[in-house]
Structure 1
Amino acid sequence: MAPARPEIDPELRALLDDLPLMSELSPEAVEQMRRLPSAPLDALLVGRAVDRRELTIPTPDGARLPMSIFSPGGADRSTAAPCVYWIHGGGMVMGDRFSQIDIPLEWLDLLGAVVVSVDYRLAPEVTGTTLVDDCYQGLLWVAGHAGELGVDPARIVVAGASAGGGLAAGVTLMARDRGTPVIAAQMLICPMLDHRNVTTSSRQYSGGPGVWTREMNEYGWRSVLGDLAGEDVPVYVSPAAAGDLSGLPTTYIDAGSAEVFRDEDVDYATRIWAAGGQAELHVWAGGFHGFDALYPEVRISAAARRTRKDWLARVLNPASGTQAPPPSAVVPEQAINSPR
């Protein structure tokens, strides 16, 4: 008998019925999804005063990582801005730096944040720590070029969704252990944290089609771990395996009650508290994996996004007790600068 599952929010349920769902991933399915168009970035930028810059940076092994930088257009450059370093989702095997980019672009609008998104290499073409190493190299570049970017190096937030949330947690552990760079906060949105797949929620979402099932999760982890198993799995790849969660920056974690990652995310927050750290945890009743990215217009999604924004405002502007005003007004499409 299949285990009982929490009910999906009624508004989401009606929309989910029209979404093509899968039970498992295969190399062929991943390749097909990789060929799908990226997020409609131009449409997202219409009506926003945004300066956009595209560049690549080198990695120690000779690869080059594309990064996109979105800065508030018309902002007062005499005051350094906060920065959100964004790591996209996609189960470690798909996605690009424009995936889910609408989420941090809202923070650019509302908080005046510079958004930097990194295109880390994907599994199974690379395995082990390569993905998280790529993300760490991008973060080092941002911290090292804070002045050029107009960024306050003391207000860099590492954020990501799903696999990107897990990589954000891994990058934060790596920065803690290496002593650089300074991370003001980490925002982990429905993060993929634990390769072991042993929780109640992972078993609840097995054996049937879904947005992200236990079987799909196992495929993603096999792809990134390769032959690594047991104690050989680096904690930077699977942060839930870390024995020490002390010394981390203030943390935001959220998940849906109706998803694979629910229990590992709750456990991660609990262990941060146990280590004396600060974490804010939200489990959205009736939310499935990635609900607010897929359907931002429904009430539960709007609440999740609003709550994240309010938390970021508190973290980035603690002295004022209020969020920073938007740096610029909505402007015509022609005000958006082209990549340079």
Structure 2
Amino acid sequence: MSYAFDPELAPWVPMINDLPFTDIAAARAAEKVMTANLPVYEPARPVDVRSALVPGPEGASQVPVRIYTPVGAEAAGSGLPGLVYLHGGGYVLGSPDFCHSDLLRIADQVGAVVVSVDYRLAPEHPFPAGLEDSYAALVWAAGHAAELGIDPARLAIGGDSAGGGLATAVALLTRARGGPALRMQYLGVPMLDDRLETPSMRAFTDTPVWNRPIAEICWSHYLGGEGRRGGPDVPAYAAPARAADLSGLPPAFVYVCEFDPLRDEGMSYAQRLVQAGVTTELHLYPGTFHGSVGLPGTAISQAMVSDVLDGLRRGLRARSTR
């Protein structure tokens, strides 16, 4: 298909090499090379970065996390806002390394403590492994808020792509289990629906970075086999678009891209949140595709980053540090 990409984004499209999702080992190797070549954000003031192992779900191993703490940020009351962040990668790829610069920026410019979760990946660890790891990290962060310098009343869950899907599921799971109180949920281009029936998912079979064939592979791995994808027994904690009741969830910041198969499921979920009485902010960026937020030197990407940072500040009631 021909797509009306933003004129500043269009030159990037031929340079984007889609990862070989049909071979997960090869895709992970290619991702490591790509990650090593990413530019690193330079914070305006120091951000302390450290790694830790936190208790995992019952019967599972510890969960690695990476903690970003802005040095010298002004805390209001009992601490800084906190964000438990879940990386993208279609539930089969990704690591804290890939989103390192993004989280340095959030810690620096939002003035928040960020806990980045290295959750287990499919196909080796299908649902609910990644979800339970993410929830365990949230529970740990809330329980160690004072040690981390986090105000427990300003704790959020968030992520992008598959991480946005996990963040959505964690919010649902936290509501069901009576878990930590969440100030907001940040859902960037969230991956929410295994049924793959929305107009955008049906139409966008060859878009860069993410498209329907890739979605089919990743959902099948995450759900433990191709035969389960789209079937009647997939729980809402795996595919949050299936959740019937969205009431009582934390306020949400959602953004989607025009030429992204995930566009319609994100927009639909945001609309349903509003209808359920959940304060929700939705951004749709014209001319963009999955991953556009990470492309440097374009006005639309800069606007996307600015909106995310501002949304986090407002959602967490944090002062701008710039």
TM-score by length of 1: 0.87
Q: Secondary structure at the match of 1:44?
A: coil
Q: Which runs of 5 or more residues in structure 2 are unaligned?
A: none
1:6 Cα deviation (Å)?
4.8
Runs (4+) of structure 1 moved beyond 6 Å? none
Q: Which runs of 5 or more residues in structure 1 are unaligned?
A: 318-322, 330-340
Provide the residue aligned with 1:277 in structure 2.
Answer: 278
Matching of residue 55 in structure 1 with residue 52 in structure 2: yes
Q: Secondary structure at the match of 1:232?
A: coil
Tell me, in whole angstroms, the C-alpha distance in 2 between the residues paired with 1:74 and 1:117. Answer: 20
2:224 equivalent among 223, 226, 243: 226
Question: Which residue identity lines up with residue 65 of structure 2 in the other structure?
Answer: M
Is the 2:247–2:278 Cα contact (8 Å) retained in structure 1? yes
Tell me, in whole angstroms, the C-alpha distance in 2 between the residues paired with 1:138 and 1:180. Answer: 12
Provide the residue aligned with 1:12 in structure 2.
Answer: 9
Identity of aligned residues (%): 39
- CA 1:232–1:13 in 2, change beyond 3 Å: closer, same or farther? same
Asked which structure has the greater CA Rg, the reply is: 1
Tell me, in whole angstroms, the C-alpha distance in 1 between the residues paired with 2:314 and 2:101. Answer: 21
Matching of residue 161 in structure 1 with residue 156 in structure 2: no
Give the count of matched residue pairs.
317
Matching of residue 201 in structure 1 with residue 200 in structure 2: yes
Is the 1:84–1:113 Cα contact (8 Å) retained in structure 2? yes
Q: Secondary structure at the match of 1:94?
A: coil
Write out per-residue CA displacement over residues 23-64 of structure 1, whole angstroms, 9 at most, x where no aligned residue: 863335334335536457994356541112211123222312
Is the 2:119–2:130 Cα contact (8 Å) retained in structure 1? yes
Higher relative contact order (CA 8 A, sep 6+): 1
Is the 2:13–2:208 Cα contact (8 Å) retained in structure 1? no
Question: Which residue identity lines up with residue 11 of structure 2 in the other structure?
Answer: A
Tell me, in whole angstroms, the C-alpha distance in 2 between the residues paired with 1:41 and 1:112. Answer: 23
Tell me, in whole angstroms, the C-alpha distance in 1 between the residues paired with 2:96 and 2:18. Answer: 23
Is the 1:92–1:224 Cα contact (8 Å) retained in structure 2? yes
Is the 2:158–2:185 Cα contact (8 Å) retained in structure 1? yes
Provide the residue aligned with 1:262 in structure 2.
Answer: 263
Provide the residue aligned with 2:64 in structure 1.
Answer: 66
Tell me, in whole angstroms, the C-alpha distance in 2 between the residues paired with 1:179 and 1:143. Answer: 13
Tell me, in whole angstroms, the C-alpha distance in 2 between the residues paired with 1:34 and 1:325. Answer: 33
Provide the residue aligned with 1:107 in structure 2.
Answer: 106
Provide the residue aligned with 1:178 in structure 2.
Answer: 177
Provide the residue aligned with 2:305 in structure 1.
Answer: 305
Provide the residue aligned with 1:27 in structure 2.
Answer: 24
1:163 Cα deviation (Å)?
0.5
Query: In terms of mean alpha carbon deviation, does 6-15 or 82-91 score higher?
Result: 6-15
Query: In terms of mean alpha carbon deviation, does 100-109 or 80-89 score higher?
Result: 100-109
Query: In terms of mean alpha carbon deviation, does 185-194 or 47-56 score higher?
Result: 47-56
Provide the residue aligned with 1:336 in structure 2.
Answer: none
Write out per-residue CA displacement over residues 207-238 of structure 1, whole angstroms, 9 at most, x where no aligned residue: x3621110001100000101445232121111
Tell me, in whole angstroms, the C-alpha distance in 2 between the residues paired with 1:35 and 1:21. Answer: 14
Tell me, in whole angstroms, the C-alpha distance in 1 between the residues paired with 2:107 and 2:70. Answer: 6
Question: Which residue identity lines up with residue 84 of structure 1 in the other structure?
Answer: L
Is the 2:211–2:261 Cα contact (8 Å) retained in structure 1? yes
- CA 1:310–1:37 in 2, change beyond 3 Å: closer, same or farther? closer
- CA 1:250–1:103 in 2, change beyond 3 Å: closer, same or farther? same
